[in-house]
Amino acid sequence: MARKIARVDKSLCAACGACQKVCPRGAIYIFKGIYAAVDSNKCIGCSLCAKECPASIISMEKLEVEA
Amino acid sequence: MKKAAKKNWYDYLYIASAIYLFLGLFNILFAWLGMLCFTIPLIISFKTGTKTYCNKYCGRGQLFNLLGKKLKLSRNKSMPNWMKSKVFRYGFLLFFLTMFSLMIFNTVLVFNGTRSLSQVVTLLWTFKIPWQWAYHITSAPLWVSQYAFGFYSIMLTSIVLGIITMAMYKPRSWCIYCPMGTMTQLVCVAKESANKTK
């Protein structure tokens, strides 16, 4: 079974925190002011962060999970 | 029904940002308040190694969000790749710091009497807009007013650039190339690598 999860291109992230503000699950956070990081256990793949990211560097990827 | 997220006091700092721009229309000395937007982010990043200012307290980011999302003034398109590149972000920071240094130099010239007070606001580092109505003769030294005109020029220019990119791309596009944001991120990177080498 696969589910979607947010993935951040850390090399281009400005750590602005726009994604963190819209995440309904608190699954995305700014790691030490350097880049946005995703907690894969909390992410529900709603893609709100991807839509919000001003640099459009968050993509939704499939994550294989055991059924 | 969608439940509204609980708002904190800092979610209303866009009001302070808007008032700041408004005050500069009446008395240029209010421009000095903008120093808070320069010093607080740096103090926070140096002290805590985070970008909490950008993430929580930046009224300017909130203002762009309000204009772009709530008022739907943004096309909500992706910005071009060059705009989010490190070359552009660091280049813009360097350019910004150069222009800031020039502004300080102008203030020094007024301070030592080489140059007279210039009652203009320079928009986009090019267009000189007469702004004498916001200058009132006070007991403050002339250099204090010169600095205020220069500083307000920087703040107004960045707001104009931010509004243009807010409308063209996503609401908070400014945050990607904001010189303060780039600077605080660099501080955080430096702090983290220093911690790793300890």
Record the tokens describing residue B37, joined without a space. 């937007």
Judge contact between B76 and B166, C-beta under 8 A.
no
Q: Which pLDDT score is estimated for B162? A: 97
What is the number of domains present in chain A? 1
How far is CA B50 from each of CA A24, A26, A35, B144, B186, rounded to the nearest angstrom? 22, 17, 10, 32, 10
Tokens 């969608």 locate to B2
Judge contact between A5 and A61, C-beta under 8 A.
yes
Of the residues B172, B183, B191, the best mutation for testing chain A's interface (the one with the most A CB atoms within 10 Å of its CB) is B172
Query: How many residues make up chain A in this entry?
Result: 67
How far is CA A39 from each of CA A55, B14, B22, rounded to the nearest angstrom? 20, 29, 41
Reported as a pLDDT band with limits 50, 70 and 90, residue B2 is low
Provide φ and ψ at A4, rounded to 5°: -90, 150
pLDDT in tens, B23-46: 999 999 999 999 999 999 999 999
Percent of chain B with pLDDT over 90: 89
With CA atoms as reference, the chain A residue closest to B84 would be A55
For chain B, the structural domain boundaries read: 9-193
Using CB atoms, which residue from B84, B185, B189 is nearest to A57? Answer: B84
Contact list, B178 vs chain A (CB under 8 Å): 14
Cβ of B55 within 8 Å of Cβ of A57? The answer is no
d(CA A34, nearest CA chain B) in Å: 6
User: In whole angstroms, what is the distance from residue B159 CA to residue B156 CA?
Assistant: 5
Percent of chain B with pLDDT over 70: 97
Residue B6: count of CB within 10 angstroms of its CB: 6
**Structure ipTM:** 0.92
Reported as a pLDDT band with limits 50, 70 and 90, residue A17 is very high
d(CA B51, nearest CA chain A) in Å: 5
A contact residues 19-38, partner B, Cβ 8 Å cutoff? 20-21, 30, 32-34
**Which residue range is the domain that position A28 belongs to?**
2-64
B171 interfacial to chain A (CB closer than 8 Å): yes
**Partners of A63 in beta bridges:** A3
Judge contact between A19 and A52, C-beta under 8 A.
yes
pLDDT in tens, B45-91: 999 999 999 999 999 999 999 999 999 999 999 999 999 999 999 99
Find, among B131, B106, B105, B160, the residue nearest to B29 by Cα.
Answer: B131
Find, among A11, A12, A10, the residue nearest to A28 by Cα.
Answer: A10
Averaged pLDDT, B150-163: 96
Collapsed DSSP state (helix, strand, coil) of residue B120 = strand
Tokens 């750590």 locate to A15
Contact list, B192 vs chain A (CB under 8 Å): 32, 34
Residue A8 has pLDDT above 70, yes or no: yes
Q: Which pLDDT score is estimated for B139? A: 82
Q: Is B9 exposed, middle or buried (0-12, 13-18, 19+ CB in 10 A)?
A: exposed
Find, among B45, B157, B146, the residue nearest to B95 by Cα.
Answer: B157
- Tell me, what CATH number does A44's domain have? 3.30.70.20
d(CA B32, nearest CA chain A) in Å: 25
User: In whole angstroms, what is the distance from residue B180 CA to residue B116 CA?
Assistant: 30
Residue B4 has pLDDT above 70, yes or no: no
B contact residues 18-37, partner A, Cβ 8 Å cutoff? none
Record the tokens describing residue A5, joined without a space. 């999860």
Reported as a pLDDT band with limits 50, 70 and 90, residue A2 is confident
